[in-house]
Chains A and B, each alone.
Chain A
Amino acid sequence: MTFEIVSFVVLAVATVATAIGVIAFKNAIHSALSLILTLLFLALFYLQLQAMFIAVVQILIYAGAIMVLFLFVVTMLASDQDELALRNQIPWQRMVGGLLGLILVAALSYLLFTGAQVTGTTASHAESLKQAITTYQGDTQAFGMALFHGFLFPFEVTSLLIVVAILGALVFGRRTN
């Protein structure tokens, strides 16, 4: 138990530090690298929760695919300028950002300290998830079963949405003759 707590604290501090780095770095590439580290640390959180599949998929999709595209664009567009131009800042931007952040922290700590328990339907979901993992001998199998049997319709709708998005990008990117 102590090992779990210690590793959680270390991970949490590292994750928060890299997440702050994303917005604190002046150089876009450094921000992107910081974001990659944050995503990798998140994968470690999943590992700590014994969710192998989600952890690896987190690395594969976010750190491996999406961030590569980010970096691709950033290196191509911002290769010459060292620092982001900060002149387009809205004056009250920082204040509102800080306020919203405070609200988020307050809400999360309220949930945390009033002991938000897993109750009601959430609890039964968690219980059935545990059962599914034992029935299908592994979280990958359980995940696949849930995705293609329980949640097939939302899954298909989501993929349709992505296709629509791709088509939209295609229309915008098409050369007009």
Chain B
Amino acid sequence: MFDFMNNPTVALIVATVVKGALLIVILLTAFAYMTLIERRVVAKIQGRLGPNRAGPMGLFQPVADALKMMFKEQMIPSQARAGIYVLAPVISVVVALCAFAVVPIGNNWSANSGVHSIWDPFIGDINVGLLWILSISSLSVYGIVLGGWSSGNRYSLLGALRSAAQMVSYETSLGLALSGVLMWAGSLSMVTIVHRQLDMGIWYICAQPLGFVIYIIAAVAEVNRAPFDLPEAEQELTAGYLTEYAGLRWSLFQMAEYINMITVSAVASTLFFGGWSLFGLTDGIPILSIVIFMIKVAFFLFLFIWLRATLPRIRYDRLMRFGWQVLLPLAALNIVITACTVALGGDRFWWISGVAGLLVVVVMLFAIRRQGILEGTHFSEVETGKPVLPHSVRLVTYEQEPELEQDEDSAPSVSQPPLARNSNTVQV
């Protein structure tokens, strides 16, 4: 019955198609349940219950959502360019799915890096795997730009342009942050990068802490998630490029966003956390490697949700300034550190770049914190002229407010009460 599988070319094609179909099913299921988990987790963090009616613990909620989306009316706005309007969400999803093709989900079935089989748990181990992911994900901006432009709505167009600028800006830092890993691994193949980490005996997070931090920040911006979700900032742009979309097309965009999230999580765990490896635990049992890889990816997905529930959205100019003036130079610095360490003597000195990178990360966090406090301070002490911290940092509220408000008319030189001028910080 399976005679045709004796022909190696045909067998390879069949195996690739089957693995691809399986991967798509897995990714779509993961997307459906990510929406549920995200709503539940954010609800927990905010002290709510979240969707818990459909099925036990709300487990059937994605099914209900999917049904609802399917039966919604598919409108095309009269101002829209119909062809591109319909095409844009499809581009987004196709691109998002393609990027996952080179990610090794587990070890070879033989548990031996030298023995390959066509059924190994990755679709293709191409020589330029990492570049493939970068290049495909750089195409994902088209879906958003075209969707925003073709909607014929100013909000959509502005959201799309924002997102294009943001993704292009952070892509540079993303690529530079990954090149540190490339220097250690000496290969672009994702499978080889995992094996090199096994050979060195460390995960690259130890040698590349700075690269990892830059990658995570840039990745969050790259997939347009909070706190970098400016393309759909609802206070400013209604829903950005999604404004004119509804029903299935809207959920296609959502699908693309979540699949992109899964992809960057998978890349983070492959490049910085040893992929499917866990201290030699997976040596004998290849199936366990898949479970471990999924746990690692799930951790990063949880991190994404956690960030969204914790951090407020960044203002647009600050986002751009942060990307070009902080992340990009730091990524270049990371390359310099890594290059020096690699040139110094290779694998044995990984701790030098590790310590140096960690130092830079700590300094960066302190500097950002300090600058954030100072920039959030638009007022100074009345008597001394010294800048003071905003209330959210001082944890002291409403000390002198009533008196100052009374003085306002009589003494214009006295500045307004801090609370009134301090519009940028969140009031407690």
Contacts and interface: CB of A to CB of B under 8 A. Distances in A.
B307 interface: no
A65 B168 contact: yes
Interface string A135-176: 000111000000000000000000000000000000000000
Interface of B, helix, strand, loop or mixed by DSSP: helix
B131 interface: yes
A60 B160 contact: no
A139 B131 CA distance: 13
A71 interface: yes
Contacts of B149: 29, 75, 79
Interface string A50-84: 00110011011001110011011001100100000
B164 A72 contact: yes
B131 A60 contact: yes
Contacts, number: 68
Given A29-B149, A53-B127, A140-B127, A75 B135 contact: no
A64 B135 contact: yes
B14 to A, nearest CB: 17
B136 interface: yes
B157 A68 contact: no
B165 A72 contact: yes
Given A60-B134, A75-B149, A140-B188, A53 B128 contact: yes
Given A56-B135, A60-B134, A64-B135, A75 B128 contact: no
Nearest to A63: B139
B138 A56 contact: no
Interface string B109-153: 000000000000000001110011011101101100110110000
Interface of A: 29, 33, 36, 52-53, 56-57, 59-60, 63-65, 68-69, 71-72, 75-76, 79, 138-140
Given A36-B142, A72-B161, A140-B127, A59 B136 contact: yes
Contacts of A29: 84, 146, 149
Given A57-B135, A63-B138, A68-B141, 20 more contacts: A29-B84, A29-B146, A33-B146, A52-B126, A52-B128, A60-B131, A60-B135, A64-B138, A65-B138, A65-B168, A68-B167, A68-B168, A69-B168, A71-B142, A72-B161, A75-B145, A75-B149, A75-B157, A75-B161, A139-B127
Max count, chain A CB within 10 A of own CB: residue among B126, B128, B157: B128
A56 B134 CA distance: 9
Interface in B209-260: none
A139 B128 CA distance: 10
A107 to B, nearest CB: 33
A69 B165 CA distance: 9
A102 B149 CA distance: 37
A140 B157 contact: no
Tell which of A53, A65, A75 has the most Cβ of chain B within 10 Å. Answer: A75
B10 to A, nearest CB: 13
A59 B135 contact: yes
B18 to A, nearest CB: 22
Contacts of B128: 52-53, 56, 140
Contacts of A57: 131, 135
A127 B9 CA distance: 29
Contacts of A52: 126-128
